[in-house]
Amino acid sequence: MTLTYYRWLESPVGLLLLTSNGQSLTGLYLQGQRYFPRITADWHEAERVAPFAQAEDQLADYFAHQCQQFDLPLAPQGTAFQKQVWQYLRQIPYGQTISYGTLAQQLGQPTASRAVGAANGRNPISIIVPCHRVIASNGKLTGYAGGLDRKQWLLQHEQVAIAAHPPEPVQISLRLF
């Protein structure tokens, strides 16, 4: 049986719940979001469990416009298809958006935009796995489990950072969780 550790963290988008298996980050949830996990008696509140300190530092830098890419051990739980979608989400450049349909095409499943949207909505590691960067094909903000106001805030936050500090080109490699 895998233990679940958790920690609350204040942020500009409200309280965040970090979860870990003791080695990797398994969740980052915005308080009140759809699919928010139920904290049960067998969960352990802990501040010093890996990788909470590292996640907190990188999130603080993200919110201070000093981090455009996260480097943390991640272990999200989901189906193979969900994990594939979440891996592709990590390749969306900071401050940019992509449509659900385009993401489905990149996955080699051009008719699966609804399935991509469903997997996107079940992303257990918000912000770090940037599901907020996926929008409707008409450019509208849709489908964010944390609420459209938070999605808009995160996208605007990244645009401000891009305007002030354009990112340097990065080499992206695909690796599964």
Q: What are the catalytic residues?
A: 131
d(CA 8, CA 82): 25
Residue 134's DSSP bridge partners are 98
Q: Amino acid identity, residue 173?
A: S
d(CA 13, CA 72): 21
d(CA 62, CA 48): 21
d(CA 156, CA 167): 16
Q: Coil, strand, or helix at residue 141? A: coil
